[in-house]
Amino acid sequence: MSTPATEPTERFFESQRLKIAYWDWGNEDAPPLVLVHGGRDHSRQWDKVARAFSDRFHVVAMDMRGHGDSDWAIGSQYGLPDMAIDVVRMIETIGAPATVICHSYGAQATTVAAATFPQLFSRLVAIEGVSSGVIKRVEMNPEWIREWMDNARESEIPKMRVYKTVQEAAERLLEQNPRLPADLIDIIAGYAVKPVEGGFVWKFDGWVLNRSSMEIRRDELPRFWAAVECPTLLVSGGESHLRIDPGAPVLGVFPDARLALIEGAQHWVHHDKFDEFIVRVSDFFEEVPLSAK
């Protein structure tokens, strides 16, 4: 019987000719648990969550394309379908069906993957990945493509700020989210940057913000939510702009969804209210055991 590793091991797999990095916490004989980060983030922001579940699962956390130690997609293909392929390949690499915990843009990509390849998913925890608000319809037309082209061409000019030290980068992260846990900030900041002349820059590809010319538009997402077959826990921050209240219509779109509304948390719920997050997710796993799929 294998046991969890004290420190994770970095490994790689290939997806669409890109080398995708992931960290593995061991315990290979246990059921697989995949962690998927949000946009402009990276796999090591999951360290505390991974440790909390590594005694029960074979935990891996992936760097999505264009993030962390994964390859950049030349041609700037960072749409939801592109990211979803990488999630599918991650699960195929570690073993299916898998339980998946995902955040923000990573949660959007993962729900697309779960809807498209339902046999790969046993349970899904989506943190701040859906909105309960009214979604404005956006038509595909020349104006839409022109806006995308303008954004793409603007992205050709590098705008990465150079930080003199890793500590300076950490301070920038804390400006964005002052609730980042003190025992994790050094890991998050250290893994988020790479050295360049004069200091450090973020590892993520600046093109990730531009997505893809054939992106799934927001009003099309409910079609994917409705096709997610596995039991789903939607985690929402009580102080988030994406807050979901009990009884919100989005809960009825998913075939088998329940809500964990965590008061006092903003967008990074798993950082802002870590202990409560772990309890709520653990309760969900107890409520929906793997054999129930």
Count of domains forming the chain? 1
* The dihedral sign for the CA sequence 111, 115, 117, 120: positive
In the chain, the N- to C-terminal Cα span, in Å, equals 25
Parallel, antiparallel, or unpaired for β 232-237 and 121-127? parallel
pLDDT band at residue 136, thresholds of 50, 70 and 90? Answer: low
* The dihedral sign for the CA sequence 210, 215, 217, 220: negative
Q: Does the structure show a pLDDT above 60 at 1?
A: no
Q: Which domain holds residue 212?
A: 4-134+204-292
Residue 288 within a domain = yes
pLDDT band at residue 134, thresholds of 50, 70 and 90? Answer: very low
Question: Is 115 strand, coil or helix?
Answer: helix
Q: Does the structure show a pLDDT above 80 at 269?
A: yes
Lowest average pLDDT, out of 62-71, 145-154, 253-262, 276-285, goes to: 145-154
Tell which residue, 288, 286, 265, has the closest CA to residue 277.
265
Q: Does the structure show a pLDDT above 60 at 107?
A: yes
Q: What is the CATH number of the domain that holds 36?
A: 3.40.50.1820
Q: What's the whole-number mean pLDDT along residues 23-45?
A: 97
% residues pLDDT > 70 (the chain): 95
Give 275-291 pLDDT, tens digit per residue. 999 999 999 999 998 85
Q: Which range has the top average pLDDT, 73-87, 200-214, 222-236? A: 222-236
Which pLDDT score is estimated for 93?
Answer: 98
Residue 171 within a domain = no
pLDDT band at residue 4, thresholds of 50, 70 and 90? Answer: confident
Tell which residue, 43, 10, 67, 14, has the closest CA to residue 194.
67
Residue 173 within a domain = no
Q: What's the whole-number mean pLDDT along residues 66-82?
A: 90
Question: Is 45 strand, coil or helix?
Answer: helix
Centre a 10 Å sphere on the Cβ of residue 4 and count the other Cβ atoms it contains.
19
Residue 40 within a domain = yes
Q: Does the structure show a pLDDT above 70 at 67?
A: yes
Residue 38 within a domain = yes
Residue 226 within a domain = yes
Residue 256 within a domain = yes
Q: Does the structure show a pLDDT above 50 at 37?
A: yes
pLDDT band at residue 293, thresholds of 50, 70 and 90? Answer: very low
Residue 262 within a domain = yes
DSSP-assigned beta bridge partners for residue 21: 12
pLDDT band at residue 212, thresholds of 50, 70 and 90? Answer: confident
Q: Where do we find the tokens 């994770």?
A: 8
Q: Does the structure show a pLDDT above 60 at 292?
A: no
